[in-house]
Structures are given as C-alpha cells and as structure tokens.
Amino acid sequence: MTNHYDVIIAGGGAAGLYAALNLPASLRVLLICKRELTLCNSALAQGGIAGVYDSPEDDVQLHKQDTLVAGGFKNNTETLSILVNEAAQDIGRIIDLGVEFDRNPDGSLHRTLEGGHSKHRIFHHKDATGFEIVSKLLQTVRTLPNVEILENTLLCGVAKTGTGFSVDTLHEGTYTAFHSHFLLLATGGIGRVYEFTTNSAIATGDGITFAYELGAPIKNLSLVQFHPTAFNNRHTRECFLISEAVRGEGAYLLNAAGERFMQRYDDRLELAPRDVVSHAIILESRRQDSQEFYLDISHKDPEFLKHRFPMIYENLLKQGYDLTTDRIPIFPCQHYLMGGIDVNADSRTALDRLYAAGECSHTGVHGNNRLASNSLLEALVFSRHAAMDIAKHLSEVPDTFEEHSFPHDPDAPPIPQGLRTEIRHIMQHSYFVIPDREAAAAGFERVARIRQMLLEGNYRINADYIEAKSLATVAYLILKEVI
C-alpha cells in the first residue's frame, strides 16, 4: 500500500507544484522530480508573469487581444478567455503564498512592458521571477502532509491500468513502481532536442513521449518558439537568456554594423513579438552575411540597470560583458514549445484520468507564438484546473489499485553513443527559425530509424536511454508535421 497514491504528478516546476497545493488535502499525492526541484524551466523564467491584476488602466480584453495578435489569431479562444480572466485569481493567490513582486516607491506593484504587450502588465521579481515563484510554491508544498516528493528520480515507464496508472522510476540505481488513480504530466519542454537552448537540462520531452506511447493525442509539436535574444555564447548547449524585459526597458537591437535594423521588418521595432524579431534577425543576417548581433541598453542609467536586472548583469560580467556599458552579443535560440499533449480546458487529455499542464501540454492559449510572460500564468491557471477536475471525479475511481510490473534486463547493453548529439544536429540545421524543408525531410527519415532502433532494441533502461528515446520521439513528431 505504500506505493499506492491517489495522484501522481510528474514534474516539479510551477505547474506540478501548483497542482499539488490545489488538490484536496485528503488525497495522497506523489510528486516525482527528474532532478533537484529548482532545476526546471519555470525557475529559469526571468521576465515575469503577465496578467490584469488590480490594474484599473488595463483590461482583460486587451491582454486577450495582445495574445491573439502574437499567436497569429490561431489561439483557442475558450482557453485563452480562461487564462486572461482568471489571471488575477492566481496572481493574487501566489502573492498570498509569499511571492514577492517588485514594487514602486509608494508600495504599489510595479509592472513592466515586454514585446507584444500594449500595456505594462508584467509582474516581476527583478529578473528572476520564475525562481521566486517556484521557491515560494515549493516552500508551501513541503508543508503539506499529504504530498510526498521524490527528487532525482527518473520516470522510466508509464502504463495504463484498469484503475489508473503505474509508473516505473529509477532512483540511485533502484527501480521502483508506483501506482495511482490519476496521473498529471507536468514535465516541461523539449529544448534539449536542439543544439542550443535556453532550457534546463531536464527538458527532453519525456512526458510528451510517454503520453504519445500511451495513445494520447499530441498536437502542434512543430510550433517551437525561438527567443531572439539569447546570449550568443555558442560554447555551451544551454544559452543564457537576455530577458524580453530588457527590450521592454528600452534596449536596442543592432546588426554587425552597429545599426538598428528592426525598422526594415516591423513597425513595432524591438517590441515586436518574439517570432517576428527572430525572423527579422535571420533575414538581416542573410542580408549582411553575418550572424553578429547585439543588444544595447548602455544609454540607460547604470544603477537602474543593476537594480532592475541583477541576475543578467552578474551573469554577463562572468562572461566578460558589462550590461551598463557594452553591446551584448545575442542570437535566436530555442526557447519554448507551444504544442504538446493535447488537453481540454480542464487540462484533461483524451485518455481517462491522464492530465497534462505547463509547457508539455497543448491548451491552445498561445496560438502559433507565445506572448511574453504568458507561460508562468498558463502553468498556474491550468494546473489549478487539473486539480479541480481531479477533485470532481474522485467518486468515479475504485478503492483498489491494479499494479503493472515493469521488467528489467540487468544484462542489457547501453545505447550506442552519439544518438542524442546526432538528433540535436538534425533539428538545429533543419528546423530552426526559418525551416529547411529539404533537410527536414531527410532528418525525419533518420530520426525515425533511430527511434525504431531504440524501441525495438533491448537496451539498459537509464537516463541515457529514456532521454535519447524522448528526443527521437519529439524530433520525429515535429518533423512529421513539417514535411
């Protein structure tokens, strides 16, 4: 009975944590985290959380319209209405939980502006908003006696049973199966399918892969967002993000000649939505035959910049750049996924008692391109909806637990080396900001073969295998939509 839970949550970011604290206290909940709890895309979010909260000069319809414009009017209007109308509820809730947003001298909440927004509506904690939110949510969840947390625990397999789900986990070399009536996947994004990404090391699309293998519909996985202003290091796979808020505070985008160039591509200049700016940079790079681009905010007060962007300032200093005086080298980089496990307005998939929330899910709120700072809001609003929907269906579940066993071959060999590197190379060169359709078709054939080999082969079930299989599956699904 110790391995039986009412709800298992896979993922310890904003969506997973907020779902846990919104579930009824009477339920036994297991939260499984792939690595340490603060290593997640939510914690890396710099800019803030968008929403109309105690904002007499703003309006939810303006927030909705801005999101529609950024999303190319391909948004799901039902879920989008939920997002903007319920933003105040969840922003107020996390403030009550201790989240500290920056304030003006008079004590009122400070709101900043980011690309695509018509109003100052982004609440932030300097430039580390995601970490502040995740930390305060985690503090609360740790106090809940009904929630058990397993860190550094790899999800190795998921099976549908007659009473819910069984999951196979690996922790410190030991495999353990857990069983539940409900399963919520909050496993984050897919950034590690690219050579360069702003995502954390855990973002390999595991939850999407398990959902696909279970038969849950996956939708619009090819809607990948590339952030225009990642620090152009190119020496590390994880690229440090220069927040959208820096442009919101007045930074200029410069080409290799040190000239502003956005006027050639969009009237909104540096404050155009992310996909527009990323496309502009690629087109400008072709025009100038150079990938040298810069972000320059040195014309602003140095003390203001140090106070407003302390994390960005310190991280850039470590790389040899001073935000207050230097032009910062930037280039587009994989950042976010708009598609994912298809869910309804209550985060429920087509598979009975399977839910998904956060970046791994597809609610449709973002359309073809996510508006800045809507991601944390989506994670909160729809993970709460998942918790509420689970509570509504408790009477439908049995008291028993059917257990699925997961066999393991102790003599199975490891996977061949280099598979993940090859997949990343294929994706980076075939499906970046402006896709190469010919390369995508050839890449699809190769990743399909890699995926089939991993599925049919008898390999050791460990992090190398799970992540390679996930990356192959994600790349397969993305390129399948493209060709």
Instruction: Give yes or no: 274 in active site.
Output: yes
Active-site residue identified among 121, 192, 274, 384: 274
Token pair 């190398």 in the structure block, residue: 464
Q: Are 335 and 198 in contact (CB under 8 A)?
A: yes
The helix/strand/coil state of 459 is coil
CA pair distance 195, 334, nearest whole angstrom: 9
CA pair distance 430, 193, nearest whole angstrom: 12
State the DSSP string of 377-430.
HHHHHHHHHHHHHHHHTGGGS-S----------TTPPPPPTTHHHHHHHHHHHH
Q: Are 272 and 298 in contact (CB under 8 A)?
A: no
CA pair distance 79, 66, nearest whole angstrom: 15
| Cβ-based neighbours of 461, under 8 Å, separated by 6 or more | 156, 157, 168, 170, 175, 408, 412
Task: Give the closest residue to 139 by CA, choosing from 100, 186, 178, 180.
Answer: 100
CA pair distance 85, 95, nearest whole angstrom: 17
Q: Exposed (0-12), middle (13-18) or buried (19+): which is 7, by Cβ within 10 Å?
A: buried
Tell me the residue length of the chain.
Answer: 483
Distances from the Cα of 58 to the Cα of 44, 47, 50, 51, 376, angstroms = 27, 19, 12, 9, 19
Catalytic residues: 274
